[in-house]
């Protein structure tokens, strides 16, 4: 079995390639060529959460990801999320590769958001408001900058010092101005595209501040009782989710407004696979506000893991281990 660590994955996986892999996986999912059970969540010590995410893509990938989410780790100087992925041969179940799952999760989440934004954001989107200054926020920006000709980014973070460091790092990496916003309202009111990648359990901006034509990506919240966007945002937007099944179980951003009676399930316009294969339309007008709500979909991991494995074999990368 091959083992691929984060450094190898950083060399092997590019945002553009992962976006293509994820797009293909969603198309095949729409055609019934994938099996994706509901995510299993186990509450752990210290407010932690253990997630098991299996999936199968016919003839291509069979695998599962283990993810631990510990919000208090930030206080310990540790990553909030640890993850590991095992990819197996679909026809035999033979383990092919063990991958570091943190990078895999980050880039596939960013790639999925960028894929959705390609259908839902205005093509001429140039300014991003970024809520969050952590690992996932960085992946959101990298992937969105692959799809759009972004000119500047406004960042809103919980810790000013951490957000300033994030701005400096991303400005160097992206080659554009990445600056700290004074307030959430200032960031949102100037943005063409808003991306939310935080651990906040409550809304991070006011939906009344959204300009006509803005697209919102919300990827941070993934439990029924937590959300990053408020009811006003959801009520104003054309809403697309990564999958209906995941949204109805875990997307508090959508479930809370439904419980409040502000919207109904029919207010959710589509799941991403329907946009990819063209059975549902994306953006319908320049002034329309759109929202993509993602809670994470195991098939994205399978697609990215298979891509990493194939690239590693072609480049003779990674370390071989014998489990026998």
CB atoms < 10 A from the CB of 175, how many? 9
Tokens coding 180? 């700290």
Number of H helices, E strands in the chain: 12, 16
**Helix ranges restricted to H, the chain:** 6-12, 15-30, 73-76, 101-120, 135-147, 160-174, 184-190, 231-236, 244-250, 252-260, 272-277, 298-315
Nearest to 65 by CA among 42, 89, 39: 39
CA–CA distance, 170 with 221 (Å, rounded to integer) = 23
Residue 208 has what DSSP assignment? Answer: G
Rounded to a whole number, what is the largest CA-CA distance in the chain?
A: 59
Is the CB of residue 258 less than 8 Å from the CB of residue 229? no
Is the CB of residue 103 less than 8 Å from the CB of residue 92? no
Is the CB of residue 8 less than 8 Å from the CB of residue 317? yes
Is the CB of residue 216 less than 8 Å from the CB of residue 292? yes
Tokens coding 241? 């989710």
Is the CB of residue 207 less than 8 Å from the CB of residue 230? yes
CA–CA distance, 92 with 248 (Å, rounded to integer) = 33
How far does Cα 61 stand from its chain's mean position? 20
Residues that are catalytic: 65
Tokens coding 27? 């198309």
CB atoms < 10 A from the CB of 322, how many? 5
């Amino acid at each position: 079995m091959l083992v691929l660590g984060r450094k190898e994955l950083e060399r092997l996986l590019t945002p553009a390639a992962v976006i293509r892999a994820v797009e293909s996986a969603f198309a095949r999912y729409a055609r019934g060529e994938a099996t994706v059970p509901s995510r299993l969540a186990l509450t752990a010590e210290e407010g932690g959460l253990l997630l098991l995410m299996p999936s199968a893509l016919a003839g291509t990938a069979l695998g599962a990801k283990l993810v631990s989410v510990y919000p208090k780790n930030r206080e310990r100087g540790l990553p909030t999320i640890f993850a590991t992925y095992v990819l197996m041969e679909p026809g035999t179940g033979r383990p092919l590769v063990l991958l570091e799952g943190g990078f895999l999760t980050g880039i596939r989440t960013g790639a999925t958001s960028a894929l959705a934004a390609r259908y839902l954001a205005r093509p001429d989107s140039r300014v991003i408001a970024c809520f969050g200054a952590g690992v996932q926020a960085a992946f959101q920006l990298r992937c969105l900058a692959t799809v759009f000709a972004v000119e500047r980014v406004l960042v809103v973070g919980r810790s000013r010092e951490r957000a300033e460091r994030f701005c400096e790092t991303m400005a160097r990496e992206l080659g554009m101005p990445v600056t700290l916003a004074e307030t959430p309202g200032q960031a949102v009111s100037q943005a063409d595209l808003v991306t939310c990648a935080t651990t906040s359990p409550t809304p991070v901006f006011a939906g009344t501040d959204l300009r006509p034509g803005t697209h919102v990506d919300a990827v941070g919240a993934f439990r029924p009782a937590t959300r990053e966007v408020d009811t006003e945002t959801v009520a104003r937007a054309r809403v697309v989710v990564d999958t209906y099944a995941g949204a109805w179980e875990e997307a508090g951003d959508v479930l809370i407004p439904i419980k409040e009676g502000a919207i109904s399930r029919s207010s959710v316009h589509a799941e991403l696979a329907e946009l990819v294969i063209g059975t549902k339309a994306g953006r319908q007008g320049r002034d329309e506000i759109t929202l993509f709500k993602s809670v994470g979909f195991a098939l994205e991991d399978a697609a990215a893991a298979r891509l990493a494995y194939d690239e590693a074999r072609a480049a003779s990368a990674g370390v071989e281990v014998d489990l026998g």
